[in-house]
Structure 1
């Protein structure tokens, strides 16, 4: 009986490991980095979400998981790089310092920087995705405008934190 359980556990474990070739996708290698960034973003929460329901906003993220999956490999890598870079600039801004725990924010920025460096090493000069770049910058500009309109309130930052966390999941 114990032997059967061991084989079942081994089978479930093997089935849960994603199969991908090393050349198929650079982003797969960064799943661990994204998970760390995701967890740090979750830990940053300072304001209870139920207090910020009135501040919710639709930032009109221009992609969904399907459209990102359909992008060419170089565009996905470029998109990933642009998203992380914009998140880094958003949370690295002077206004962000007042909103978050400095230790967690420092860890988040360090993780983002580390992930960006890995992507830059892997992709080299291959960052040609003008349409994706324009849409990504517009999306983050809407986030910056929202924060400005809300005078960088704690609820506005919380809404942005949740938005970025959710978008990071599709990477």
Structure 2
């Protein structure tokens, strides 16, 4: 009886890594589609940047280096994607959003973000070790954190005005598009 439990235990240990790696298959097959959907909702919910917002002076330097790196391992890609989507979700978790936006599209956008971050968490839980460049990831993560904090400050400084939200929306679209290109470079279909 003990020998049977031993062999069952060995069999489980043999297949656990393969089972855990299935969690990240979502990243390979579904993330891109969900990212395209959320970008589409974000573009459609507010339309074009209003003319009155063109005169707004906001200094936000895009963190291009966070998306460009020699380290394009799956682990790093998952972590960066999770990091970006978490920041975006926190931005749009604000209750003060422009009433001119299509609220149903905003709801769908937030719903997709919530599901994406949940699936990415599952991917990260399935990873037993980080094979990427930890220093590179930390630098990229810090760039993103600083950038998204600046966006939060823009919203606060401008009293969550329509123009501030529109500029933030345009910046988030750019981030999601860069995330898409990062996935292309990492070789995720």
| TM-score past 0.5 threshold | yes
Counterparts of 1:24 and 1:49, CA distance in 2: 40
Q: Deviations over 1:6-34 (max 9, x none)?
A: xxxxxxxxxxxxxxxx9899366411010
Report if aligned partners of 1:56, 1:159 keep a CA contact under 8 Å in 2.
no
Structure 1 residue 48, shift from structure 2 partner = 4.1
Counterpart mapping for 1:84-103 below 5 A: 84-96=85-97, 98=99, 100-103=101-104
Matches within 5 A, 1:120-131: 120-124=121-125, 126=127, 129-131=137-139
| 1:96-135 equivalences in 2 (<5 Å) | 96=97, 98=99, 100-124=101-125, 126=127, 129-135=137-143
Residue pair 2:26, 2:119 contacting (<8 A) in 1 also: no
Name stretches of at least 5 consecutive residues in structure 1 with no aligned partner: 1-21
97-106 or 63-72: which moved more?
A: 63-72
Give the whole-Å Cα distance in 2 for the aligned partners of 1:57 and 1:80: 25
Would you say the 8 A contact 2:63–2:143 is kept in 1? Answer: yes
Question: Using the alignment, how far apart are the partners of 1:133 and 1:66 within structure 2?
Answer: 10
Task: State the Cα deviation string for residues 24-64 of structure 1 (Å, max 9, x = none).
Answer: 99366411010000001011216743221112534222225
Residues 45 and 158, structure 1, Cα contact 8 Å, conserved in 2: yes
1:14-163 paired onto structure 2 within 5 Å: 26=27, 29-45=30-46, 48-55=49-56, 57-64=58-65, 67-68=68-69, 70-96=71-97, 98=99, 100-124=101-125, 126=127, 129-163=137-171
Determine if contact 1:44/1:105 at 8 Å carries over to the other structure. yes
Distance 1:114 1:41 in 2: 16
Give the 3-state SS of the residue equivalent to 1:151 in structure 2.
coil
Provide closer, same or farther for how the CA distance between residues 43 and 150 of structure 1 changes in structure 2, counting only shifts above 3 A: same
TM-score between the two structures when normalised by the length of structure 2 = 0.67
> Larger Cα Rg: Structure 1 or Structure 2?
2
Q: Which runs of no fewer than 5 residues in structure 2 stay unpaired?
A: 1-21, 180-189
Distance 1:155 1:167 in 2: 18
- Number of residue pairs matched? 150
Using the size of structure 1 for normalisation, the TM-score is 0.73
